[in-house]
């Protein structure tokens, strides 16, 4: 039987699984450390070790590898599997490194059967685009749908789709690469506000401590007025930053995912009201990694 190894590569953690090509079934997801701050060789060995562990989970004596498919944060040369991440405190040592070449080279040394022998059997995609494909196929966002997908986490990852296909068409009102994070907002860019950093700054402003989103959400649930104010301003920023983009694109659907989406009830009201006025459906899809895995199987 043929299998794909699936990896959702994040800066703080990696989620992995496998896909049975013959049976069209995705496995459960398994969690791993990222080691994203380590040296190149350590990270490559770690990727191979993760693939090895996932391969061992497949109970099939006749198993054969087809692809290794990775969802990877940008900037990244997805066609060639070369990371362009720099200055983001993650995967710095992989800058300008061909991940397929390195993994194939290590495989030759260690005689790994679970590593494909050809570069074209390694498939890479932006992590938010993989998420978008997962949502698209789950929700059947095909003909007639104009969708913006936003994953709020360490940054504001985004993707756009038109009629069931990821689009980068600037003429359609889509920013370069479908990325909203570098778009100017207030005195900086969207990424500085619609992100963990944005939450940290608001927590510092209202609570005098740069609480994490999880800590701040717990405070909201406990009725802390300052935490409530912080999330309320975050919701106002989300509305102010995204509303012009939704209008420019002519979106009829807006999907929000990422870790912070688990606390969406604390900040969603302003953008929800704006979307209602414009006839835009707003959907929260918080099971981000599962949807990334689905997206990886639809490449």
Q: What is the tens place of the pLDDT at every residue in 68-89?
A: 999 998 889 999 999 998 877 7
pLDDT of residue 155: 87
Q: What are phi and psi of 183, to 5 degrees?
A: -70, 130
Q: What is the mean pLDDT of residues 204-212?
A: 96
Mean model confidence pLDDT for the chain: 95
101-144 pLDDT tens trace: 999 999 988 888 899 999 999 999 999 999 999 999 999 999 99
Residue 69: both structure tokens together: 């498919």
Within 8 A by CB and 6+ apart from 39, the residues are: 93
**Sheet (strand 253-257) strand order:** 165-166, 156-162, 146-152, 253-257, 281-284
Q: Does domain 130-293 have CATH number 3.30.420.40?
A: yes
Question: What would the 3-class secondary structure string for the chain be?
Answer: CEEEEEEEECCCEEEEEEEECCCCEECCCEEEECCCCCCHHHHHHHHHHHHHHHHHHCCCCCCEEEEEEEEECCCEECCCCEECCCCCCCCHHHECCEHHHHHHHHHHHHCCCCCCCCHHHEEEEEHHHHHHHHHHHHHCCCCCCEEEEEEECCCEEEEEEECCEECCCHHHCCCHHHCCCCCEECCEEHHHCCCHHHHHHHHHHHHCCCCCHHHHHHHHHCCCHHHHHHHHHHHHHHHHHHHHHHHHHCCCEEEEECHHHHHHHHCCHHHHHHHHHHCCEEEECCCHHHHHHHHHCCC
**Alpha-carbon separation of residue 294 from 10, 16, 53, 124, 189 (angstroms):** 16, 12, 20, 14, 31
Q: Are 232 and 125 in contact (CB under 8 A)?
A: no
Q: What is the mean pLDDT of residues 22-35?
A: 94
pLDDT of residue 154: 83
pLDDT of residue 129: 97
pLDDT of residue 12: 80
Distance of alpha carbon 241 from alpha carbon 245, whole angstroms? 8
In terms of pLDDT, which residue wins out, 6 or 85? 6
251-260 pLDDT tens trace: 999 999 998 9
In the predicted structure, residue 156 carries a pLDDT above the cut 90: yes
Question: What residue ranges of the chain are covered by domains with CATH 3.30.420.40?
Answer: 2-117, 130-293
Q: Are 79 and 98 in contact (CB under 8 A)?
A: no
Considering the entire predicted model, what is its pTM?
Answer: 0.93
Nearest to 229 by CA among 256, 211, 255: 211
Q: Are 216 and 203 in contact (CB under 8 A)?
A: yes
245-278 pLDDT tens trace: 999 999 999 999 998 999 999 999 999 999 999 9
Nearest to 213 by CA among 229, 197, 226: 197
Residue 264: both structure tokens together: 């969406």
For the chain, the residue count is 299
pLDDT of residue 185: 98
Domain with residues 2-117, CATH architecture: 2-Layer Sandwich (3.30)
User: Can you tell me which residue has the tokens 């069931």?
Assistant: 164
Q: What are phi and psi of 282, to 5 degrees?
A: -115, 130
In the predicted structure, residue 90 carries a pLDDT above the cut 90: no
pLDDT of residue 65: 96
Distance of alpha carbon 76 from alpha carbon 83, whole angstroms? 5
pLDDT of residue 11: 80
């Amino acid at each position: 039987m043929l299998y794909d190894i699936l990896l959702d590569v994040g800066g703080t953690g990696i989620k992995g699984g496998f896909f049975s090509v013959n049976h069209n079934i995705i496995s459960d997801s398994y969690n791993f450390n990222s080691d994203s701050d380590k040296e190149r060789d350590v990270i490559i060995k770690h990727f191979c070790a993760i693939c090895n562990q996932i391969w061992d989970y497949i109970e099939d004596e006749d198993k054969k590898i087809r692809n290794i498919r990775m969802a990877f944060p940008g900037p990244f040369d997805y066609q060639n599997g070369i990371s362009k991440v720099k200055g983001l405190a993650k995967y710095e040592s992989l800058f300008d490194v061909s991940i397929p070449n390195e993994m194939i080279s290590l495989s030759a040394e260690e005689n790994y059967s679970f590593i494909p022998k050809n570069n074209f059997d390694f498939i890479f995609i932006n992590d938010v685009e993989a998420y978008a494909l997962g949502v698209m196929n789950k929700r059947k966002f095909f003909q007639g749908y104009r969708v913006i997908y936003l994953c709020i986490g360490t940054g504001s990852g985004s993707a756009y789709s038109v009629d069931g296909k990821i689009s980068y068409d600037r003429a359609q009102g889509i920013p370069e690469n479908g990325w909203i994070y570098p778009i100017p907002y207030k005195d900086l860019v969207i990424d500085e506000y619609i992100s963990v950093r944005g939450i940290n700054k608001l927590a510092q402003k209202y609570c005098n401590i740069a609480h994490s989103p999880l800590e701040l959400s717990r405070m909201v649930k406990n009725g802390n007025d300052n935490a409530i104010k912080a999330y309320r301003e975050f919701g106002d920023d989300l509305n102010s930053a995204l509303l012009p983009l939704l209008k420019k694109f002519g979106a009829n659907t807006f999907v929000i995912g990422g870790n912070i989406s688990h606390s969406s009830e604390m900040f969603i009201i302003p953008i929800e009201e704006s979307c209602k006025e414009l006839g835009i459906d707003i959907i929260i899809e918080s099971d981000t990694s599962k949807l990334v895995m689905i997206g990886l199987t639809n490449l």
